[in-house]
Amino acid sequence: MIAEHQREFENLPSVRTPNGYVITRWSLTAEERRRIVEGDDIYVTLLSHGPINPLFVTVGPCNWNEKS
In order, the DSSP letters of 6-24 are -TTS--B-EEE-TTS-EEE
| Residue 61: closest CA among 38, 37, 44, 48 | 44
pLDDT for position 4:
65
pTM above 0.85, yes or no: no
Q: What is the mean pLDDT of the chain?
A: 76
Question: Using CB atoms within 10 A of its CB, is residue 40 exposed (0-12), middle (13-18) or buried (19+)?
Answer: middle
Q: Are 40 and 60 in contact (CB under 8 A)?
A: yes
Lowest-confidence segment of 14-18, 19-23, 36-40, 62-66 by average pLDDT = 62-66
**Mean pLDDT calculated for residue range 49-56:** 70
Q: Is the pLDDT of residue 25 over 70?
A: yes
pLDDT at residue 67 above 60? no
